[in-house]
Structure 1
Amino acid sequence: MLDTSFPLIKSFLFTLATLLPFLNPPAIAPIFLSMTEGASQEIRVMLAKKVAINVSIMLISTMIIGNAILALFGISLPIVRIGGGVLIMYSAWNLVTASDEKSNDSSQDNSMSLEKANSKSFYPLTFPVTFGPGAIAGAITVGVSILDENFSNALLKFSGAVPAILLATFTLYICMKFASQMLNKLGESGTAVFMRLSAFIMLCLGVQVCWAGVQGLVNTFL
């Protein structure tokens, strides 16, 4: 029984260990909070659920067909990293330079908050902030690991990978859902400073991802 279930358990642990650092739920929480500034808690919970579902679907899809799609279009992982890094830098720069001024019309703020939340559920919160180049590369790596000439083993590996993805995205959902509660103790000014700092870290992450892509391209010519 242990020998039969070993590929499933191994695939579960491998998938979780591969994807969780790329998703990095604790680091996403303050970024999520800053990008949903002005939204009510109910809207944030709704948005957190949408983002988690989107990330789950994209991780599973990329795991299954990601490598084939990149090969079909002739896109290399370094190019994915550069493109994703540029998008992350663009999103982070908008946060860093965002105005602190708020409208005095609370009803208009709530309406706009819902509209903006829906518009941000995929871009940029799902992609590229959460499901970025690192997560894409990780999902493709997991997809390669589940390939097996033995169909039963491949099925067991796939059956282990999917629950691991769901667990990772559920952790992401919990961190986003309770992001405001985690930062409440900082106070209004402290939270504002922390959000700006998180945006700057996100900007640096985008530069790092883009640089990794440039290094990957350079290495292909050496």
Structure 2
Amino acid sequence: MLTTTAAITAFTTIFVMIDAPGLTPIFLSMTHGMSAAHRRLVAIRACLVSLGLMMFFLFLGQAVLDFIGISIPAFRIAGGVLLFLTALDMLFERRQTRRRTSAEGALDPSHDPSVFPLGIPLIVGPGLITTLILLASTSEGALGLAVVAAMAIINIGIVFVTFLAAPSIGKLLGTTGLNVMTRLLGMFLAALAVQFILDGIRSANLMG
């Protein structure tokens, strides 16, 4: 039961942070004019790069914190605040505006967008990096890390499928549908962010 709860929490948090539906219009604009095969290649590269970055921060993020000398409670609180700000951006569309700006700045007919800006920072941004380190710090042993890694892989799979289906999804949902979905994800993320902050304060009190 505990493993199932951890899996649900990890999946939901990562899913909300990546916001695959919100990436759909950006992916469409960055691959406009490409053939289906070329678009698929860009999607594969972006997802592989993102997955590699996610595994790095999931398994080595804690070591980086230890080296710098930051405690887990402090990082949980700071991470929760960052996640909450990200949620506000999603609720008020500021996140999408920044994503479009980053994407437009990198648009170039000769440029492959799979690594930048798709892989980083659009898929693996500061918020997701924070989330992965927080999830790793709260996981129980190797099994817990394996569960989080599995949820990360599943989410990247969802991103890949979303990218491939981007033209159809864009037509189906429309601009209004994508905006509604982004706001709903923002509400869930806000609640998870508050939970991270409460857990950090609780842990700090226990350590004190």
Shift of 1:119: 3.1
| 1:172 to 1:25, Cα distance in 2 relative to 1, 3 A | farther
| 1:166 to 1:86, Cα distance in 2 relative to 1, 3 A | closer
Answer whether contact 2:54 2:124 (CA < 8 A) is retained. Answer: no
The TM-score, its normalising length taken from structure 1, stands at: 0.59
**1:175 pairs with 2:161:** no
For residues 150 and 14 of structure 2, the distance between their equivalents in structure 1, rounded to whole angstroms, comes to 17
Which residue identity does 2:10 align to in structure 1?
A: L
Shift of 1:169: 3.4
- 1:96-132 deviations in whole A, cap 9, x for unaligned? 222678xxxxx95881894543433442364124x14
Answer whether contact 1:54 1:126 (CA < 8 A) is retained. Answer: no
The TM-score, its normalising length taken from structure 2, stands at: 0.63
Shift of 1:71: 5.2
Shift of 1:72: 5.3
* TM-align CA RMSD: 4.1
Shift of 1:202: 1.1
Answer whether contact 1:50 1:121 (CA < 8 A) is retained. Answer: no
**1:218 pairs with 2:205:** yes
Answer whether contact 1:82 1:209 (CA < 8 A) is retained. Answer: yes
Gaps of 5+ in 1: 1-13, 102-106, 146-160
Shift of 1:77: 2.2
Answer whether contact 1:32 1:125 (CA < 8 A) is retained. Answer: no
Answer whether contact 1:25 1:176 (CA < 8 A) is retained. Answer: no
Answer whether contact 1:84 1:132 (CA < 8 A) is retained. Answer: no
Which residue identity does 2:22 align to in structure 1?
A: S
- What's the counterpart of residue 50 of structure 2? 51
For residues 186 and 95 of structure 1, the distance between their equivalents in structure 2, rounded to whole angstroms, comes to 21
- 1:51-84 deviations in whole A, cap 9, x for unaligned? 222112223335xxx3x66555553322121111
Answer whether contact 2:14 2:152 (CA < 8 A) is retained. Answer: no
Alignment partner of 2:21 out of 33, 36, 59: 33
Count matched residues: 179
Answer whether contact 1:52 1:172 (CA < 8 A) is retained. Answer: no
